A = this chain, B = another copy of it.
Amino acid sequence: MPSYNAPIDDMQFVLHDLLKITERDVPGYAELDRDFTAAILEEAGKVARDVLAPLNMVGDSQGCRLENGVVRTPDGFREAFDTVREGGWTAIDAGEEFGGQGLPYVMHTAVNEPFVSANMAFNMYQGLTHGAYTAILAHGSEAQKALYLPRLASCEWTGTMNLTEPHCGTDLGLMRTKAEPQDDGSYKITGQKIFISSGDHDMADNIVHLVLAKIPGGPEGTKGISLFIVPKVLHDEEGKLGARNAVSVGKLEEKMGIHGNSTCVMNYDGATGWLLGEAHKGMRAMFTMMNEARMGVGLQGFAQGEAAYQAALAYAKDRLQGRAVTGPANPEGPADPLIVHPDIRRNLMDMKSFAEGARALTYWGATLIDASHRSGDADSEALVSLLTPVIKGFLTDKGFEMATAAQQVYGGHGYIEEWGMSQFARDARITMIYEGANGIQALDLVGRKLAANGGKTVMGFFEMVKTFCAENKENETLSSGFIEPLKAASKDLQAAGMFFMQNGMKTPNAALAGSYDFMHMMGHVTLGLMWAQMAKAAAEALEAGTGNRDFYEAKIATGRYYMARHLPATKMHLARIESGAEPVMALAEEAF
């Protein structure tokens, strides 16, 4: 069974050396000094390593079971959930008035990483609950907040999100679920929702379903969608539980992975629900949660990759096979460890350089969310909105690639379930699909985010990269292998943006045909920026003589690898984009 250890040193490096969080002017950040965050992250790492990771393969092999209409979770999940609750890990960033710890979102993100790496399927029960908490916090009435938030913060009750229906996923305008107003101010919800993660289980007293539905007579399409709170068990105003609501599990899906999480078909048969926020403004309510939810999925992508990488690294150091081409590295043994072989190294360096870059990007994104929510900083809000599809789409594509690459290090054993490597790939696969399939992320980026604020936000991002390059071109570390590749990649990205501007108006397909490539290009440029900033921070630490020299030197070398071997991808993506819509759209539908 693969073991997992939270990469505390690297997490601390990102929070303090790179992001310098205590120096940021965001309420709540001043107290997040190195010792404070280390204490929290080390405890989280222990829970991940000792409680959650050992249940990862159990969850995969047992899966959830539907028994008499009730979902049973795998052995050990209930006890583990109690441990997580008791440790206060469900409410890191929940308000203190609702029983939370009131810490910034960046700490929720950092704590979440080891939990997701150790057991993604398990973590989703609390992840969806966090989403429901955020939605009710943003849109609930005072009474709804008082009733639900403390229970969701503690995970005494858990939450779900109900969007998709059998005939509509991305295109929610086709939705059929109905919400009929009742005299007492409640609604009767009727319809079927599918792909409901954590839809039912045996680990909490109640489940708060947030359900998108249409109130009859409202506007057509997405403008007529409202959001409802539909509890599994009805309750009074104090939360005292009563009768079962008319909501039931129609089916438990058999999936490629995340078997430990219950993915349900939910049937609403005149279930009682209450409006959350305004009528017909359900889509807007969903959108307010979207940056966080999509960032959370991006984190899942690289966190699965990180866990798979740790396993592959251990195997590469242990497994003896062949000899180094430069002469035996383990002359006493029958063969050398795999890690001596350049192609295995390439594979490990791909994973390592990606995971560390992705961590930096995700935590940075979390600080932007904090700046937006805690300081009301509109620029941070705009920037994180621009980056969100990149974090979701690029990090999950690459995270799955990492998990697949890690399998490859194991050779045939990577394909055998008992070694655990297949699970990482199977689990990671969903991150490219849910919370908006990655093609939709690319569409969001190119079709919506580039043009947001009249293009000011993306121009600001380009400017940020340019300024960084200009200001650091004399830096001895950065001038060797960082600044030039970043400038070149950024230039490619801007050229692609220019191509869209020049062609997108008269040929919208020209922009859309290149959207996926643009998302990946922007991913590389963003990670390139992260790496350049990390190398600078590492060089400063080396200069100051603080901390572990080996760590900082490895950081710089890993960054050089990413710049040398991954940034050249932008040339390929630009060439594809500049080939335009014609090759993509040339065939008539019948010609396929």
Contact = CB atoms under 8 A, between A and B. Distances in A.
Interface in A417-437: 417-418, 422, 425-426, 429-430, 432-434, 437
A335 B553 contact: no
A335 B273 CA distance: 29
B515 A342 contact: yes
A568 interface: yes
B407 A429 contact: yes
A253 interface: yes
Interface in A271-320: 313, 317, 320
From A320, A415, A509, A553, name the one whose CB has the most chain B CB atoms within 10 angstroms: A415
Nearest to A414: B433
A361 interface: no
A132 interface: no
Contacts of A550: 590-591
A585 interface: yes
B584 A561 contact: yes
B571 A170 contact: no
Interface in A531-579: 550, 553-554, 557-558, 560-561, 564-565, 568-569, 571-572, 575-576, 579
Given A169-B321, A335-B174, A591-B554, A195 B412 contact: yes
Interface string A151-172: 0000000000000100111110
A415 B429 contact: yes
A525 to B, nearest CB: 15
A557 B590 CA distance: 14
A322 B437 CA distance: 14
From A344, A408, A587, name the one whose CB has the most chain B CB atoms within 10 angstroms: A587
Chain A, interface size: which category? Answer: 35 or more
Count the copies. 2
A586 interface: yes
Contacts of A592: 313, 317, 339, 348, 352, 554
Given A592-B313, A592-B352, A576 B568 contact: yes
A263 to B, nearest CB: 8
A24 B407 CA distance: 43
A572 B321 CA distance: 30
B572 A343 contact: no
A164 B571 CA distance: 41
A256 interface: yes
B171 A325 contact: no
Interface string A241-258: 000000000000111110
A86 B515 CA distance: 51
B426 A408 contact: no
Given A339-B589, A408-B433, A418-B254, A347 B439 contact: yes
Given A174-B334, A587-B554, A512 B565 contact: no
A442 interface: yes
Contact of A585 (B342, B433, B558): B342
A235 interface: no
A124 to B, nearest CB: 14
A325 B512 contact: yes
A136 interface: no
B411 A171 contact: no
Contacts of A439: 341, 343-344, 347, 408
A583 interface: yes
Contacts of A395: none
5 shortest A-B CB distances, which residue pairs? A568-B575, A256-B422, A342-B512, A564-B579, A554-B591
Given A254-B416, A257-B415, A408-B438, 19 more contacts: A170-B411, A171-B320, A171-B321, A171-B322, A174-B335, A342-B581, A343-B439, A343-B512, A400-B404, A408-B432, A550-B590, A553-B591, A554-B587, A554-B592, A558-B587, A560-B583, A560-B586, A564-B583, A568-B576
Interface of A: 164, 167-171, 173-174, 194-195, 253-257, 313, 317, 320-322, 325-326, 334-335, 337, 339, 341-349, 352, 400, 404, 407-408, 411-412, 414-418, 422, 425-426, 429-430, 432-434, 437-439, 442-443, 508-509, 512-513, 515-516, 550, 553-554, 557-558, 560-561, 564-565, 568-569, 571-572, 575-576, 579, 581, 583-587, 589-592
14 contacts: A171-B320, A171-B335, A173-B335, A174-B334, A255-B415, A256-B417, A256-B426, A326-B508, A342-B515, A343-B443, A344-B439, A407-B433, A408-B433, A550-B591
